[in-house]
Structures are given as C-alpha cells and as structure tokens.
C-alpha cells in the first residue's frame, strides 16, 4: 500500500485489476484542496494502467465524508475550490474503468458530490446521504448537475432545496444508491469479482464511453454553467456570505433574502 498523500491511500488489488482509493483522514474525511488533488493525481497516474477493470473508493473511519471545507467556500477562495472539484468530477466521469463507491456513515456535501461521480454507490446500513449546503445559504453545484442522473428531478430537488439527509433504505428506493449491505466494501469487492474481473479492460473502457457519450458532454457543459452561477451571482448575495460566516462563527444566520 502506498500513500499518495496524507489524505488518501492508494494501492492496486486483484493483481492490478482493481485500483483502491481510500479517504484517510477520519472521522470527517473532508474533501478539501489536498484531498481533491490527491484523488485527481491517483486517477491520472492509473488512467492508462494495462488490465485495469475497476476502481473502489471507500474511506477510513465510521464516515465516508462530512463534505467540503467550508473555509474554501468563502468568496476569496471558492473559485479555486470549484475549479479543482469540478475537474475531479470530470476525471471520474471520464475514467476508463467503472468506479465503485462504498459508503459508511455520513456522506454529505462535497463528499456526496464525489460519490455521485462514480458508477455505483454501495451503502452501508448506517449510511446517510445529504446536500446540506442550502442550510448555509449556498447551493451544491456538482450535485445540482449529477443528482438528476440518479434520481427523478423532484427527488433531487428535495435534497438540494431542503438540505435534509436520507438513510440507506430511502436512498436505495430513490435510485441514489444501487445496493445496501452490512459491509459495503466487501459487497463492492464481491461485485467486482463477479461482474468485472473477468471482463476485457479495453471493452469496459469503450462500454463506459458508449454509455456516457451524452452524459459526459452534458455534465461538462452544465458544470461550467452552475459554476458561473455560483461565482457570479450567488457569491454576490448577502445571504450566501452571511450563511458561511455564521457557520464558521457557530451562530444562527440572519437572512435578509437578498
């Protein structure tokens, strides 16, 4: 096992057929600049690996991720944060092997956005999924684009507008996750062994490209659009800046609805 950084553990499994990525800063596993860079670097380093048939992304500790760094959402930092996160999302969607994501505990905000860029999400029975950004007066750009590919538009809007979390059973019923298991990592490995290990890596890569030929172009275009909406309009509002400041100060926000 090799550490790509202090934030992420990276190794090859199944005789090089499976790339393992593990968020390694429990219990929060915050998706900050360091974590984003480590994930992106690991994918880039293994993109052309011969014989790769899958990726398994999981996390140390009781929780997958509490989300992105709130400090990096502040007006002076958010442009760089969004650019790097959205580049990672695109790298995951365009990766030439299926990415399985095993989730335990909380999977929130930017952590859920990263999970949504995978092929399948396997949830532990204790998993909780949510986009709480609206509680801070901001919206979730990548989730605004990716959630409707997994759920109906109304179900996606429920999570995006309310900021509430859903448990594993509700997430499964809504299509947000593909299976629920007592041990999501073991279930993901079993899926890989049964359904992907014996396949051609070259054919899998082309099957991914075929299945996502429309999705990839749409996500790239829509991410750019929501990024501009976030930077040019949202961060010019009083309430977005107030919500972030209130969270960092551990007080209730004073909304002015402007």
Is 242 an annotated catalytic residue? no
Per DSSP, the chain holds a count of helices (H) and strands (E) of 10, 10
| DSSP β-bridge partners for residue 226 | none
Whole-number Cα distances in Å, 128 to 64, 91, 102, 104, 144: 10, 25, 12, 8, 18
The one catalytic residue among 133, 170, 185, 194:
133
What is the Cα gyration radius of the chain? 18
C-beta separation of 131 from 115 below 8 A: no
Category of 4 on φ-ψ map: left (φ > 0), alpha (ψ -120 to 50) or beta = alpha
**Element containing residue 130 per DSSP (H, E):** strand 128-130
Q: Which of 55, 154, 40 is nearest to 101 (CA)?
A: 55
User: Which stretches does DSSP call E strand in 131-178?
Assistant: 165-167
Unique residue bearing structure tokens 């409707």: 148
In a 10 Å sphere around its CB, with 0-12 CB exposed, 13-18 middle and 19+ buried, how is residue 76 labelled?
exposed
Annotated catalytic residues are 133
């Amino acid at each position: 096992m090799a550490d790509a950084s202090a934030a992420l553990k990276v190794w090859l499994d199944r005789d090089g057929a499976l790339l393992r990525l593990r968020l390694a800063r429990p219990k929060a596993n915050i998706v900050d600049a360091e974590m984003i860079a480590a994930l992106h670097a690991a994918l880039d380093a293994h993109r052309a690996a011969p014989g790769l048939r899958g990726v398994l992304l999981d996390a140390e500790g009781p929780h997958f991720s509490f989300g992105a760094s709130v400090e990096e959402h502040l007006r002076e930092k958010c442009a760089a944060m969004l650019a790097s996160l959205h580049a990672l999302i695109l790298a995951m969607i365009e990766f030439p092997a299926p990415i399985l994501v095993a989730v335990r505990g909380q999977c929130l905000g930017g952590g859920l956005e990263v999970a949504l860029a995978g092929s399948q999400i396997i949830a532990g029975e204790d998993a909780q999924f949510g986009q709480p950004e609206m509680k801070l007066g901001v919206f979730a750009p990548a989730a605004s684009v990716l959630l409707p590919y997994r759920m109906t538009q109304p179900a996606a809007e429920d999570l995006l507008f309310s900021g509430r979390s859903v448990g594993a059973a509700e997430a499964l019923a809504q299509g947000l996750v593909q299976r629920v298991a007592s041990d999501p990592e073991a279930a993901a490995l079993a899926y890989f062994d049964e359904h992907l290990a014996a396949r051609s890596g070259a054919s899998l890569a082309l099957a991914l490209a075929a299945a996502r030929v429309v999705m990839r172009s749409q996500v790239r275009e829509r991410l750019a659009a929501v990024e501009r909406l976030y930077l040019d309009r949202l961060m010019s509002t009083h309430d977005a800046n107030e919500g972030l400041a209130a969270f960092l100060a551990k007080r209730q926000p004073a909304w002015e609805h402007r």
